[in-house]
Amino acid sequence: MFPAARHQEDIDNSLVRLSAGELTLELAPAIGGSLVSFRKHCPGGDVDLMRPMSETARHKRDPVGAAMFPMLPYANRIADNRFDFEGRNNGIHAERGWGSASICTARGGRPPGT
């Protein structure tokens, strides 16, 4: 979970909204870039395509409660935390999932509703 250094209003105000046609998703940079919601706009109302992040999870800044969260530095298993690349054997010395516990910075675009 994230440190409680920011207020809930900061998280809500920092959401990044991306839209394309009938699809909209919201990301929370303050919660490691977690996906807050992914929806399709339909004539009868919006349809959630993924489970939206609950208010409780947002308040607790818990990325596990998100629709989806980044698994960084890697999302799959790498045997023995080592791999060969360009003739060199490289080791990974980080716990999987630490990236989702970082505050991200969104660059460019417009705030939601503008």
pLDDT tens, position by position, 26-47: 998 888 888 999 999 999 999 9
Give CA–CA dist 41/22, Å, rounded. 5
Q: Where are the domains of the chain?
A: 8-101
pTM confidence score: 0.61
> Do 61 and 30 contact (CB within 8 A), yes or no?
yes
Q: How far separated are the first and last CA of the chain, in Å rounded?
A: 30
pLDDT at 10: 58
pLDDT at 88: 87
Beta-bridge mates of residue 27:
16, 35
Angle at CA of residue 36, ends 47 and 76, nearest 5°: 110
**Token code pair at residue 69:** 């969260």
